[in-house]
Amino acid sequence: MRHSTRGQVDPFIVMDVMEAAARAEAAGRHIIHMEVGQPSTPAPSGARAALAGALDQPLGYTVALGLPRLRAGIAGLYRRWYGVDLDPARVVVTPGSSGAFLLAFSALFDAGDKVAIGAPGYPSYRQIMRAMSVQPVEMLTEAANRYQPLPDQIPADVQGLMLASPGNPSGTMLGLDELRALIERAQGQDTAVISDEIYHGLSYGKRCHTALEVSDDVFVINSFSKFFCMTGWRIGWMIVPESHIRTVERIAQNMFICPPHASQVAALAALDCEDEARANLATYAENRRLMIEGLPAAGFGNFAPPDGAFYVYADVSDLTHDSRVLAAEILDQAGVAVTPGLDFDSVRGGQTLRFSYARSTADITEGLARLRDFMARR
């Protein structure tokens, strides 16, 4: 059987690490998970209760863009969080943020188009683009600029620009002026802007800014996965310009029919559980403090302190030039799963590791102790 060339994308290495960790656990080992950006807490209680109360209903197809009440509720979130007055018609509910990327790339780009993305960055950006015959163009960002791109790094010949704040794997954020400078530079050269804001609500000190505070002519992607702790529910959303609503709707009808109805019911209720979701931030903040203090003590001290999300992206060039091998050693000898930087930066990622602090504080404390012991023996 033949294979398409566009289907030959790179693996999502963190998923391979998760599989290796699962094998170790099946063999009876206790593994500390610092590899995956998944909250250890369940979905908000109100979301779980709402779904339980709806299970006797048919829960069949919804309209392609999502339940109208959910779209209105998401628009209300933008008023509360950012002071942005948003028409619910511009809100598109999606099967996770991954579904939003597929819809955005399909609506904006043709085969052969180029899209600028920061490196290090979320690996699925470039792999989804390649699977759609869109060409990712990496902008090599620097620790000195907190792993965020600068306006003059945007190539003049690209059709799209992908932004992420807080970023994955770095956890660093763009201020409003920085966000404005990037968007204005891109729009000045007729480059479409997509802003990945999936970690909004998870910041420490400074608040997150949405691209919608700068322009309505942007695509904004978010999800219930991180702030609302609903990763496995696969429910996200996207804000699109009015000019693209019908285009996105037609694509969504054919690609997905609709987002999962059950998850939409839970997501609608989750919007009323902000206080419960925000309480998790205290755990992440304490974990962040432990990481900022504990990683240097363990020998992983070269990183830009994260502003948001729940990751630390460390330069380990003094230890290795093959982060995949180092991550395997840490899993095997310390029982701590971490992610090789090759997932996020194909050029320099052999010299970096990403550490997630999304799990419980007890796990983070234990993981740091194991990392110290590992480095002492190494």
Domain holding 205, by residue range, is: 57-273
Q: What backbone phi and psi angles, to 5 degrees, belong to 205? A: 105, -80
Query: Is 90 exceeded by the pLDDT of residue 371?
Result: yes
Residue 52 in domain: no
Residues 170-193, mean pLDDT to the nearest whole number: 98
pLDDT band at 9 (very low <50, low <70, confident <90, very high): confident
Please give the structure tokens belonging to residue 283: 């755990």
How confident is the model at residue 353, as a pLDDT? 98
Is 200 contained in some domain?
yes
Q: Do the domain assignments include residue 174?
A: yes
Split at pLDDT 50, 70, 90, the class of 212 is very high
Does 7 fall in a domain?
no
DSSP helix, strand, coil percent of the chain (3-state; round to 5): 45, 15, 40
Domain identity same for 258 and 337: no
Write down which residue in 240, 273, 306 finishes a domain. 273
Statement to judge: residues 111 and 241 lie in one domain: yes
pLDDT at 211: 98
Question: Can you tell me the distance from the alpha carbon of 182 to that of 193, in angstroms, rounded to the nearest whole number?
Answer: 9
- Per-residue pLDDT at 126: 94
How do residues 216-235 score in pLDDT, each as one tens digit?
999 999 999 999 999 999 99
Q: Is the pLDDT of residue 264 over 90?
A: yes
Supply the CATH number for residue 296's domain.
3.40.640.10
The secondary structure of residue 319, as a DSSP letter, is T
State how far the alpha carbon of 101 is from the alpha carbons of 195, 212, 219, 292, in Å: 10, 17, 10, 32
Predicted confidence at residue 2, as pLDDT, reads 86
Nearest partner of 71 among 276, 279, 258, judged by Cα: 258
Mean confidence (pLDDT) of the chain: 96
| 322 plus 373 within the same structural domain | yes
Q: What is the pLDDT confidence band of residue 3, given thresholds at 50, 70 and 90?
A: confident
Do residues 142 and 268 share a domain?
yes
Whether residues 104 and 193 share a domain: the answer is yes
Tokens coding 200: 């909004």
Out of 273, 288, 313, a domain closes at 273
- Cis amide bond preceding 166, omega within 30: yes
Q: Assess if residue 157 is contained within a domain.
A: yes
Cβ proximity of 319 and 3 under 8 Å: no
Average pLDDT (189-211) is 97
Show the tokens assigned to 301. 């001290």
What is the rounded average pLDDT of the residues 140-163? Answer: 97
Q: Are residues 81 and 168 in the same domain?
A: yes
Of 5, 46, 38, nearest to 21 (Cα)? 38
Do 349 and 316 lie in one domain? The reply is: yes
Mean pLDDT on 172-178: 98
* Residue 121 within any structural domain of the chain: yes
Does the structure show a pLDDT above 90 at 178? yes
Is residue 194 in a domain? yes
Length of the chain: 378
User: At residue 12, does pLDDT exceed 90?
Assistant: no
> What DSSP designation does 368 have?
H
Query: How many structural domains is the chain composed of?
Result: 2
pLDDT digits (tens, 9 = 90+) for 48-104: 999 999 999 999 999 999 999 999 999 999 999 999 999 999 999 999 999 999 999
- Say whether pLDDT at 15 is over 90: no
My answer on whether 129 and 140 are in the same domain is: yes
- At 13 the pLDDT is 84
Residues 30 and 103 in one domain: no
**Does 47 map to a domain?**
no
List, for residues 307-364, the tens digit of each pLDDT value.
Answer: 999 999 999 999 999 999 999 999 999 999 999 999 899 899 999 999 999 999 999 9
Amino acid at 51: L
Which of 273, 306, 325 finishes a domain? 273
Residues 176 and 30 in one domain: no
Q: Are residues 285 and 265 in the same domain?
A: no
Are 299 and 265 part of one and the same domain? Answer: no
